[in-house]
């Protein structure tokens, strides 16, 4: 077993396109009365598309996004927002 840290690399989908899809999915879930954050987290953790509504084609949109890229963008934005506060 090695003590070296493994590097994780993800694809290179357009970040702006991914953010647009996340927001469209969020809006579709909200319009249907769901808790968008909980539903998106459920989808990310399970990769089960039934967490996402078909309303406004949200399910098909979110499935175009690689979950690892989605997590990287969300984490990066969260950390960047936190750094601006301190």
2-12 pLDDT, tens per residue?
A: 678 766 565 55
The pLDDT value given to residue 61: 96
E strand spans, 1-82: none
pLDDT per residue over 30-40, tens digit each?
Answer: 999 999 999 99
Which pLDDT score, from 0 to 100, does residue 42 have? Answer: 97
Counting every residue, how long is the chain?
86
Mean pLDDT of 32-56: 97
pLDDT digits (tens, 9 = 90+) for 16-32: 899 999 999 999 999 99
The pair of structure tokens assigned to 70 is 């989605």
How many angstroms separate the CA atoms of 10 and 4, rounded? Answer: 19
């Amino acid at each position: 077993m090695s003590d070296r840290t493994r590097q994780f690399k993800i694809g290179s989908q357009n970040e702006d396109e991914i953010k647009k899809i996340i927001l469209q999915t969020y809006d579709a879930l909200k319009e249907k009365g769901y808790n968008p954050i909980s539903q998106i987290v459920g989808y990310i953790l399970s990769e089960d598309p039934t967490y996402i509504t078909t309303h406004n084609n949200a399910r098909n949109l979110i499935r175009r996004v690689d979950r690892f890229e989605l997590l990287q963008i969300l984490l990066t934005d969260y950390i960047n927002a936190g750094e601006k506060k301190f």
